[in-house]
A and B are shown apart, each in its own frame.
Chain A
Amino acid sequence: MRPSTASRELLILVPVALALAALGVLGNTYMISMLVIAGIHVIVTAGLTLLLGFAGQISLAQAAFYALGAYGSMIGTVHLGLNPWLALVLTALGSGIVAYAIGVPTLRLHGHYLALATLGFGIIVNIVLVQETNITGGPTGAVGIPRLTLGVELTSDRQYFALVWFVTLALLLVCRVLVTGSSYGRVLRALQASEVATESIGIDVARYKVQVFVLCAVLASLGGSLYAHYLTVISPSEFGFDVSMEFLVMAVIGGLGSVWGALAGVLAVTAFLEILRTVAPMIAPNIPTSEYEVVAFGGLLVLTLLFFPDGFMGRWRRFAGALRLGAMGR
């Protein structure tokens, strides 16, 4: 890894970590929990950011892999009595294998076959969660999932906040190093630039795509496990098709290719909804605002995609590029 890469990543990481630490100390229970969920969403979205950015593929089953993580951890700890951490790792491995089984046949074909397969897979997973009541708890959900332990049992929101964001930032950094620093990453970036060219120099493009898809699923699964142990209650409606859609949208809003985009996308959406909830009653105190949230959310998506088709990160990349060009012109 080149030192310059490291310093560039740190340039993002350190301020983000500091800002989070400040929020972790100052924020109230509500804000802390909201950020715990946001952190988990960043992990899940980051997988999509990589898949969309490098493999140029859409997965419509991110919420299903998120569910596999959550239900895997639930079954491992509640039904089988495993250590939560062991269950988390086993579940992630299992999710990776499932993703591999879906990816191999579909990613060898040219076209968006992965999108079709994951659409089907995602919905089937959700229906199984609803139907297999004895194992999953059915539509009402499963309760009594143990908390995670790190020496002591983690019970407070602040403890989870620290844990989740440590894991999130560490995972983002690892992904970032993987795609920018390593020779592996060079292939991925070549793939991003031109699939045909990459294939023509004898690289097995499909293999790399499958690997990115597996990584995408494993990240979702890890997020799901953390979610299950944080809320201790899970139900199928948290993992529906609409949730897969929301993850996709957050990934695109943030910008594809760089996992920091996932961070930007999730935080932008979280902040937007929060501001809406706070500001709307001040502007129109007598109108029940809650229903307008959905419209505003849809509006935000469309506008963002319209004006920032490459997401926030992409926009800034271009903006910065223009600045550089301007400077050179002078």
Chain B
Amino acid sequence: MKKRKIVGCARMLLALGLMLVAGPAPVNAQAKEYRIGAVMELSGPFSSWGAPMRDAIQLAVDNINAAGGIKGVPLKLVVYDGRSKGTEAVLLAKRLVTQDKVVAIIGPGTSPTTMPVIPYVTEAGVPTLSMGSSDRIIEPANERRWLFRPPYGSRHNVEKLIEHFKATGIKKVGFLSVNNAYGDTGREEFEKAARPAGIEVVAWEKFGGTDNDVKPQLTKLRALAPQAIIVWSIPPAASIVQKNRAELAIDIPMYHDNGASLTPQFIELAAGAAEGAYGVVIKVDVLDELPANDPQKATLLKFRQQFESRFGMDVGGLYGEAYDCVLLIAKGLESAGDNKEKLRDAIERVKGFVGMAGIYTMSPTEHNGLSARDLVIGRVKNGKWTIVK
């Protein structure tokens, strides 16, 4: 009897020992490089977001290195799969800081996976550029010194939509959101802004991110006769909503938040049914129509060319947003070096920086930096986003 226990113990000790040995990652001290960490949702329910972000970040790092790095010092990217779990995100953030010795973290890519990371990165003092959509990541500003959230959030989308509704006289809308943190954040923000703007919401409907039939919700909304239906989701769900709308032959205009246009999959998967859909879009999606004097145009043309030659596919806004995270860190590193405190300060001082998603102006109370001014209301025509004037 004793023997088996001893063997059992030995096995467990071996396992523990292996972890100890495997623990400290080799940090290459002599070759100087700036290490940037990323926690992305590469598997699990948020994974349709993670891989595009990872690809864009890698492209940005490679481009910077090809151009000679940051004052001659190359960037090194360490990416982990957060498995769409907060627990995993916290552990990986700790791994990036303590073992991979990164100067800054990009990610996690969603609000629910970012929230648990906040206490640690704040305590450890690591500049963290989350890609979640909720403003809870960067507010209250005094408690979120170390957090930035470069992509557009729900707030910008709501602002842009309401501005457009006011201009076009839309006062009565139906709201359809995906039943997860992304949809809920949009719903909360719209709820806050709708009443002061004099916009009535006839119904708040939800649908599941993996549902393949949203027709019941759409028929309900149609019966209430709103002037527009707002859809808050990301592809593939957003594409399914468009397909169902076409099946029902609903003629009420449908407005998507910028989640839909962030990847080219939206139009592709809807297979023609996206035609006529409205959406908040980022300028890269309507690049050809931008006036030549647009401050972003030159940068975006170069970005699109680089992206398409590398990945052989159309670019989407999400890639630009993720790309910008690297650019912001790189800009900070130029002046601050690898001192995390200085790096944080430098990112906070970024002003009028032309990125792929928009023009960033940070401040101690503004850790997003973008403005709804750089967003565009677009409409799908002949399988491409066009500007609505």
Q: Which residues of A pack against B, CB within 8 Å?
A: 8, 11-12, 15-16, 19-20, 23, 26-31, 33-34, 37, 130, 133, 138-141, 143, 227, 231-238, 240, 242, 260, 263-264, 267-268, 270-271, 274-275, 277-279, 288, 290-291, 293-294, 312-313, 316-317, 319-321, 323-324
Question: How far, in angstroms, from A312 to B94 measured CA to CA in the complex?
Answer: 30
Of the candidates B24, B94, B179, the one having the most CB atoms from chain A within 10 angstroms of its own CB is B94
24 contacts between A and B (CB under 8 A): A12-B5, A19-B12, A140-B115, A141-B115, A143-B118, A227-B87, A233-B86, A233-B115, A233-B116, A233-B119, A235-B115, A235-B181, A237-B84, A237-B86, A240-B45, A264-B12, A270-B19, A277-B80, A288-B79, A290-B54, A294-B83, A313-B8, A316-B8, A317-B4
Question: How far, in angstroms, from A279 to B83 measured CA to CA in the complex?
Answer: 19
Would you list the 8 A-B pairs with minimal beta carbon distance, nearest first? Answer: A320-B4, A290-B81, A139-B181, A233-B116, A30-B94, A235-B112, A140-B181, A28-B98
Of the candidates B12, B40, B80, B124, the one having the most CB atoms from chain A within 10 angstroms of its own CB is B12
Of the candidates A31, A138, A236, the one having the most CB atoms from chain B within 10 angstroms of its own CB is A31
Measured between beta carbons, the chain B residues less than 8 angstroms from A26 are 20
> Is B90 interfacial (CB-CB < 8 Å)?
yes
Cβ contacts B106-149/A at 8 Å (1 or 0 each): 00000111011011000010000000001010000000000000
Query: Is B5 within 8 A of A140, CB to CB?
Result: no
Query: Is A27 within 8 A of B42, CB to CB?
Result: no
> Is B66 interfacial (CB-CB < 8 Å)?
no
CB nearest neighbor in B for A320: B4
8 A Cβ contacts from B83-108 to A: 83-87, 90-91, 94-95, 97-99
Known: A33-B94, A233-B86, A275-B22. A23 touches B16 (CB 8 A): yes
> Is B25 interfacial (CB-CB < 8 Å)?
yes
Shortest A146–chain B CB gap in Å is 12
From A28, A141, A227, contact of B99 by CB (8 A): A28
Measured between beta carbons, the chain A residues less than 8 angstroms from B3 are 320, 323-324
Shortest A310–chain B CB gap in Å is 13
Query: Is B94 within 8 A of A143, CB to CB?
Result: no
CB nearest neighbor in A for B46: A237
> Is B159 interfacial (CB-CB < 8 Å)?
no
Measured between beta carbons, the chain B residues less than 8 angstroms from A15 are 9, 12-13
Query: Is B9 within 8 A of A11, CB to CB?
Result: yes
Question: How far, in angstroms, from A256 to B115 measured CA to CA in the complex?
Answer: 36
**Interface size counted on chain B using CB atoms at 8 A:** 60
Query: Is A37 within 8 A of B87, CB to CB?
Result: yes
From A11, A29, A236, A278, contact of B22 by CB (8 A): A278
Shortest B119–chain A CB gap in Å is 6
From B20, B81, B111, B134, contact of A291 by CB (8 A): B81
Query: Is B9 within 8 A of A12, CB to CB?
Result: yes
> Is B48 interfacial (CB-CB < 8 Å)?
no
Question: How far, in angstroms, from A157 to B245 measured CA to CA in the complex?
Answer: 51
Query: Is B112 within 8 A of A141, CB to CB?
Result: yes
Cβ contacts B1-28/A at 8 Å (1 or 0 each): 1111111110111011111101111000
Question: How far, in angstroms, from A30 to B88 measured CA to CA in the complex?
Answer: 11
Query: Is B116 within 8 A of A267, CB to CB?
Result: no
> Is B305 interfacial (CB-CB < 8 Å)?
no
Shortest A272–chain B CB gap in Å is 9
Query: Is A290 within 8 A of B2, CB to CB?
Result: no
> Is B217 interfacial (CB-CB < 8 Å)?
no
> Is B184 interfacial (CB-CB < 8 Å)?
yes
Question: How far, in angstroms, from A235 to B44 measured CA to CA in the complex?
Answer: 15
From B2, B54, B85, B136, contact of A140 by CB (8 A): B136
> Is B180 interfacial (CB-CB < 8 Å)?
yes
Query: Is B87 within 8 A of A8, CB to CB?
Result: no
Query: Is B12 within 8 A of A16, CB to CB?
Result: yes
Question: How far, in angstroms, from A313 to B4 measured CA to CA in the complex?
Answer: 9
Query: Is B42 within 8 A of A290, CB to CB?
Result: yes
Question: How far, in angstroms, from A236 to B86 measured CA to CA in the complex?
Answer: 10
Known: A268-B15, A291-B42, A316-B8. A140 touches B87 (CB 8 A): no
Measured between beta carbons, the chain A residues less than 8 angstroms from B111 are 140
Query: Is B5 within 8 A of A312, CB to CB?
Result: no
Question: How far, in angstroms, from A274 to B80 measured CA to CA in the complex?
Answer: 12
From B85, B94, B113, B136, contact of A29 by CB (8 A): B94
